[in-house]
Homo-oligomer: A and B are copies of this chain.
Amino acid sequence: MGFRKLLGLGTLAAFSGAALPLPALAQAAPASGRPEIKFTTTDAFSMADIPAYKGDNRDIYAHIEKNKAAHIANLQRWVRQRSISAQNDGVREMAELAAADFRKIGFQEVEVVPTGGHPGVFAYYNAGAKKTLVVYMMLDVQPVEPEDWKVPPFEGAIVEDHPLGRVLMARGATNTKGPERAFLNTIESIIAVRGKLPVNLMIVAESEEELGSPHYPEIIAKYADRLKAAAGSIYPGGGQSPADGAVSMQLGNKGILYVELEAKGNPTTGGPQKAEIHSSWKATTDAPAWRLTQALATLTSPDGNTINIPGYYDRIRQPSEEEQRLFNGTLAGWEKRQLTVRKGFSIDHWYDGMEARQSLSRYLFDTTLNIDGIATGYDGPGMKTILPHRAYAKLDSRLVPDQTPDEMLALMRKHLDAKGFADIEIRKLSGYPASQTSVSAPLVRAVLGTYNKYGLTVDVSPRSGGSRPSYVFTQTLGLPDVTLAIGHGADAHAPNEYLVIDPKPGSKIFSLTQMEGFYADVLYALAATK
């Protein structure tokens, strides 16, 4: 849900383990209200079609290597500044620290941006270049449970004996102060060596990613006219597989509608209104828990896999030729990877026993309706005999392009009303549409060309099955939007979060200085596009 949290299929590369044999199919595919997903081309996208970036930036790499100790110290300085947005702990101080860094690096325009919540930071570096690149940053981090950590989470410890090598272990090391400050190290080295950057930069940072980015659209809106003129937006964040150094790129995200449905006793429909009552009164009394259950059950087929809300699938368009080519290009990898994914999740088979083609097309091109939680009454051990006065469920629906959260919400409301469940309240907690970036965008080609320079295995997918509000870049601003998935860190929301600084010999993971060199290549590759 977080703004930049879900790396979608890309994160799957982190799973390892032998492939499982395909399980016997337990269920025949039922007649389905889900739209059939049709393919009209067998052409497949190939990384071989993208020319490798060939620029020579060895002078910059050398500067980065020479200043490695100072660069590491910069990362440590950032992770040492607490910035837990959920607890309002150090958040403003972090914004001020970032703003001071931007000024020191040479950004001519730096502003701490007030919002309805925590402040953001806008920074503009005018290189007098033809192209401008928008850089997304998040300055906040998740809360910590210090007692679960091997090292103090805000000490910025360098741990030498991590299984993957020498790492920075701290809250924010990989999510995402580490890669962000590494990107700034790159900027400093380029300016030191070349005098100025090859592109103009607009950093648009927020301090509420871990809260679901509720005010990020405010920050974007303030600078929208200037941001729209950019060549695209990037997000520096590590995502290499520790097994083979492979990376992935998702050219879009699903949107989301997140709602709570609640049934409660009320004067019209009956039921207790203030508190649970003794369950013997079910003999005479309407029960909100049954109302909610019955209402929920109307939303899907008995197997829970087809949405029965009229019109819910109507907006789903067939995959475009580009999406099909990307799909065809990624299918072979998915055929193997899905077994690893299922093993990691302890899932014996996908629903209806779907094979790779069907499961990948559902994952990329279909909408979902999922129960995140249901709560009513007593859930402790043993027995309690009560008739609860309220019952609620949390549901999320992943949206594909052309579905909008408000239209889907209206369809759900209309359906419940038509089925006699006008008493069920629907509360929208979040909603935003899908995003999409074309693989032919110059920024995308520049990033893929840079991956090709290093001979990296890249899985390019038309989108992630996960959601993030990258529509603010692709729809609000009309920009191509790309995450830079180089380097490796993990345990983003867990204890002992880390970013690899120096991987063990033989590893395919990029070191910190290689990450920084890669970022330089991307900026020059973008500058070189027409």
Bound Cα distance from A377 to B370, whole angstroms: 11
A294 within 8 A of B: yes
A8 within 8 A of B: yes
Q: Which segment, of A44-52, A56-64, A387-395, faces chain B?
A: A387-395
Q: Which segment, of A136-144, A184-192, A221-229, A349-357, faces chain B?
A: A349-357
A115 within 8 A of B: no
Contact partners of A394 in chain B: CB under 8 A: 377-379, 383-384
A363 within 8 A of B: yes
A286 within 8 A of B: yes
**Most B-side CB within 10 Å, residue of A265, A281, A374, A430:** A374
**Shortest CB distance A5–B (Å):** 10
Q: Which segment, of A155-163, A298-306, A321-329, A404-412, faces chain B?
A: A298-306
Contact A384 B373 (CB under 8 A): yes
Contact A371 B362 (CB under 8 A): no
Contact B285 A294 (CB under 8 A): no
Bound Cα distance from A385 to B383, whole angstroms: 29
A1 within 8 A of B: yes
Contact A286 B351 (CB under 8 A): yes
Bound Cα distance from A300 to B282, whole angstroms: 13
A107 within 8 A of B: no
Given contacts A347-B273, A465-B280, contact A268 B26 (CB under 8 A): yes
Contact A280 B6 (CB under 8 A): yes
**Shortest CB distance A467–B (Å):** 7
Contact partners of A383 in chain B: CB under 8 A: 1, 212, 258, 372, 394, 396, 429-430
Bound Cα distance from A377 to B465, whole angstroms: 20
Bound Cα distance from A363 to B280, whole angstroms: 8
| Residue of B273, B359, B430 touching A284 (CB-CB under 8 A) | B359
Q: How many copies does the complex hold?
A: 2
| Residue of B258, B302, B366, B385 touching A1 (CB-CB under 8 A) | B385
**Shortest CB distance A238–B (Å):** 19
**Most B-side CB within 10 Å, residue of A6, A265, A291, A387:** A387
Contact B385 A280 (CB under 8 A): no
A320 within 8 A of B: no
Q: Give per-residue flags for A279-316: 1 if the beta carbon is below 8 A from chain B beta carbons, else 0.
A: 11111111101110110110010111100000000000
A1-44 with Cβ < 8 A to chain B: 1, 6, 8, 23, 26-27
Bound Cα distance from A373 to B376, whole angstroms: 5
Residue of B whose beta carbon sits closest to that of A296:
B293
Contact A291 B278 (CB under 8 A): no
A346 within 8 A of B: yes
Bound Cα distance from A8 to B385, whole angstroms: 13
Contact A385 B258 (CB under 8 A): yes
Contact partners of A466 in chain B: CB under 8 A: 278, 280
Given contacts A280-B464, A430-B383, contact A285 B347 (CB under 8 A): yes
Contact A368 B270 (CB under 8 A): no
Contact B293 A305 (CB under 8 A): no
A236 within 8 A of B: no
Contact partners of A384 in chain B: CB under 8 A: 1, 372-373, 394
A506 within 8 A of B: no
Which A residues are within 8 Å of any B CB, using their own CB? 1, 6, 8, 23, 26-27, 212, 254, 256, 258, 265-275, 277-287, 289-291, 293-294, 296-297, 300, 302-305, 345-351, 354, 359, 362-363, 366, 368-379, 382-389, 391, 394, 396, 398, 419-420, 429-430, 464-467
5 smallest CB-CB distances across A and B, nearest first, come from: A290-B304, A297-B297, A373-B377, A375-B379, A289-B371
